[in-house]
Structure 1
Amino acid sequence: MAGNLSEGDCTTLFPDLKTSHTDSYFLRIENWPFRASAKCHPLQITVNDSPWSPSINVPSDLKEHQSVTVTCSAFTPCPHSPPELTWNLQQDSLRQTEKNTDGTFTTKIQENITLSDTHDGYNIRCSARYPVIGGNKTAETEVTLSVSYAPKDTSASISPSGLVSAGSWVELSCSSRAKPPPNFTWFRISEHGATKVSMEQIYSFNVTEEEEYYCVATNYLGNQKSSVLLSFEDRQEFGLFLCAAVKILGLTILCSAVVIFECWFRLSNRSRKDPEEPDQVNRVMEIQAS
């Protein structure tokens, strides 16, 4: 007897229950020579060999950036020896034992978390360890979070990849990670602004000119876009040819300048030496005359 009978508290502890103790029990008060038994109001006690599994309470309709409270609770048959609760969230969660309206007890731990797209598919595990004679008995519960989030990692691509030719058939594809799955819209950018050209994930058409396109992935939580530029192959080749021609022309001009300078330098040296030649001829003639 753990309670104070004089105060109407008849709380009783069973220190070592066994499955064989499953039965109907009733309270008897003895105060000799008087005895009173509550046979009309028995208490049915069922003893199980396995412990009660804890329950995890998570709000419904979870969204990214939302702050929620996650609760793990376990039935507590004896508030004097409540179960120990642990989970894969913060380990410093405060344990509380509360009395329910029906007179039973529940032990719980809580944690506040701010949701993001990385929490979608995250498994929360909570275990309840009940102290028993000679050790503990443990039960575990697991729930998987389903978190909605706006489009992420949106990417636009072109097939065939690289440069395209005028009049060729191309396929623009858009991908994105979102929950719920997004809707896709393609836009073409022109001098008049952006024009909607398709509301499909894949947009196929014949190329007529170089243009920029972008796709927008949208769900009810937000949107994200990604762009792609169509470049013509012939224009690119012309640019490469022009670049090579400029390089060749530059080398030609440089070589010509070197040759012209060399010729000018030689002629300049020769012109400085020519005035001395008549004097030498005159000296030879004077020597021969003498």
Structure 2
Amino acid sequence: MALDALIRIFTIMSASVFGTRAAVSVSVPGRVLALEGSCLVIPCSFSPAPAAQTMELQLVRSSTPFFMMLRRPVFSSERSDGVHPDFKERTALAGNISAGDCSVSISSIRSNDQNTYQLQMRERGQRSWPAGSKVNISVTGSPEPPELTDPGPVKEGQRLVLNCSARLSCPSDRPRLLWKWERGDPAGSSVHGDTELQQDTGWFPVLQTSLVFTVPRHTNPRVRCELEYPNNRRSSATREILVHFPPRDVWVQVVSAAVRLGGNALLLCSCKADPPVSEYQWWSVESGNTRILSKRTHTVRVYNVSRDTRVQCSAANRLGRASSRPTPLNAQYAPLILSRSSCDWDGTLLSCSCFVDSNPRPAVTWSVNGSHLPDGFNTSSSSYVNHTLTATLRGISDVPLRVECHAVSALGNH
């Protein structure tokens, strides 16, 4: 009975001293990154918002339990004289407590400010501080790189917007965001933004800039977004834009070292394409007749090659199709002396022309009356056009001579 009465008395006293108001819940990020020499605003909010009561706030640097009673706040909303000397004139209330904002700022960040801190709140008149909410402050000598969006694969000619953003732990020490082209620099690109801070879903305001450009042909652009603070402190993020395009520069490559007339040839359809080619098609043209080949692979072998065989291929991916030009196979054959070869003699000057159809180019020799050329006779090979070699012989003779030309190549002679 006496014990029950004692419990009731303690309950009444507790209610009168501490009140029945719900405990304040303080929210802070678990970790913040501060730039050495800059400032830091530790975001803080709490609920429920105070009514008529006045709230007290302090920021305490964590320490071992043995020194728990000796630690001093680095910020106090009530007693500036009790603040640790290392933080005097460097900490201040950045938020509006009446609006539920308990943010605290630290200026002139030092490397030894790196530690774990507790933000504690209580109603004025309370004798003890609650445990508070912990925040770990990390200090870096260089800015954290900005975030650069990844658009993934894009198409040639597409209008593209890249966003670059940086979270600011100290909005008053505002950096600049700069775009720099490392490769590409499309004409007509323009920059938008970075004049206003935006609040994202996180704790910190965000500085953002956008780069707008048309994706160029024949290159994967590479762009860098640079975050620049005073005193030449900077960091950057780079993005290479992967450009997808339909097949282009399609051409037929003759893989076989030499193609003989009437023989076969191994061919390869080459091109540039991204994504890769998904389908090939081949056709050949001989004497004006087109024949579609059955194979749909990037290599094909054709047979019974003639002098005028021309081959084409086409390549396709999901973005389009392109074709090569008609490609001659350059079939090789033995020399053939053409019937229009002849000699003229005017009684003094002997002039002969020898026309040889051959692939590869032949060597031409002459004989006069079945023997070597007489002294004073000159020979030349003036041209080799469309596999026809023109050779000439000139000399002085007062009698008619029997002249022969001979052609030879690796494939035979005539």
Where do 1:1-290 residues align within 5 Å? 1=92, 5=96, 8=99, 12-21=104-113, 22-26=115-119, 39=130, 41-42=132-133, 44-50=135-141, 51-89=143-181, 93-95=192-194, 96-120=196-220, 122-131=221-230, 135-159=231-255, 164-182=259-277, 183-189=279-285, 193-209=290-306, 210-226=308-324, 227-230=326-329, 232-233=331-332, 241-242=338-339, 245=341, 248=342
- Whose strand fraction is larger, Structure 1's or Structure 2's? 2
Question: C-alpha root-mean-square deviation of aligned residues, in Å?
Answer: 3.6
Contact 1:26 1:37 survives alignment (8 Å)? no
Give percent identity, aligned residues only.
Answer: 18
Query: What is the identity, as a one-letter code, of the residue corresponding to 1:166?
Result: L
Q: Give distance in 1, aligned partners of 2:95 and 2:253.
A: 78
Q: Go from structure 1 to structure 2 and tell me whether the alpha carbon gap of 1:142 and 1:13 turns closer, same or farther (over 3 Å shift).
A: same
Largest Rg, 1 or 2 = 1
Q: Return the structure number with greater helix share.
A: 1
Deviations 1:35-81 (A, max 9, x none): 89974543625132242121110222322222221111111112222
Larger RCO (CA under 8 A, 6+ residues apart)? 1
Paired with 2:95 and 2:264, the residues of 1 have a C-alpha distance of 90
Displacement after TM superposition at 1:215 (Å): 0.8
The alpha carbon displacement at 1:172 in A equals 2.0
Deviation (angstroms), 1:216: 0.8
Structure 1 pair 10–234 and aligned structure 2 pair: CA distance change class (3 A): closer
Provide closer, same or farther for how the CA distance between residues 16 and 232 of structure 1 changes in structure 2, counting only shifts above 3 A.
closer
Shift of 1:179: 1.1
Structure 1 unaligned residues grouped into runs of 5+: 257-290
Post-superposition offset of 1:157: 2.9
Q: TM-score, normalised by structure 1?
A: 0.67
Q: Contact conserved, 1:150 with 1:223, CA < 8 A, in 2?
A: yes
The DSSP-based 3-state class of the residue aligned with 1:82 is: coil
Deviation at 1:231, TM superposition (A): 5.3
Which secondary structure does the structure 2 equivalent of 1:26 belong to? strand
Cα offsets for 1:103-148 (capped at 9, x unmatched): 421111111122234343x4332222344xxx35322222332221
* 1:20 alignment partner, SS class: helix
Q: Structure 2 length as normaliser, TM-score?
A: 0.49
Q: CA deviation at 1:82?
A: 2.3
The number of equivalent residue pairs is 242
Residue pair 2:264, 2:303 contacting (<8 A) in 1 also: yes
Matches of 1:6 and 1:220, distance apart in 2: 59
Q: Which residue of 2 aligns with 1:284?
A: none
